[in-house]
């Protein structure tokens, strides 16, 4: 997906990323109603589905979801530059 200058995705790309999950949640509501459950139960799960979809859209739109690797510089070493040591390694002088 194409990132914008701010680090997030544009609105269209964010909507395209969230749409499959929103449709899956709405299909779940329709399936519950089709099975003959009380409509109240079907619509009780609708607000959390919509809330999580909007939260995911905001995450994609603002750049919260994305590559979080920091380059070496004023922020310190990047994630790949961290020195790995075993659990028992201790420098004894």
Q: What does each of the 93 residues of the chain score in pLDDT, given as a tens digit?
A: 555 555 667 888 888 989 999 999 999 889 888 888 888 887 788 899 999 999 999 988 888 776 655 555 555 555 555 555 555 555 555
Q: Are 32 and 41 in contact, with CB atoms under 8 Å apart?
A: yes
pTM, two decimal places = 0.58
Those residues with Cβ within 8 angstroms of residue 80's Cβ, 6 or more apart along the chain or in another chain: 69
What are the boundaries of each domain within the chain? Answer: 18-65
CB of 43 closer than 8 Å to CB of 51: no
Residue partners of 81: CB distance under 8 A and separation at least 6: 72
């Amino acid at each position: 997906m194409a990132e914008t200058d701010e680090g997030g995705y544009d609105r269209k790309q964010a909507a395209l990323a969230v749409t499959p999950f929103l449709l899956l949640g709405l299909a779940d509501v329709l399936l519950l109603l089709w099975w003959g459950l009380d409509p109240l139960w079907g619509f009780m799960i609708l607000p959390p589905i919509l809330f999580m979809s909007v939260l995911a859209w905001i995450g994609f739109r603002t750049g919260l979801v994305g590559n979080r690797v920091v380059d070496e510089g004023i922020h310190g070493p990047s994630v790949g530059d961290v020195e790995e040591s075993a659990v028992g390694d201790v420098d004894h002088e």
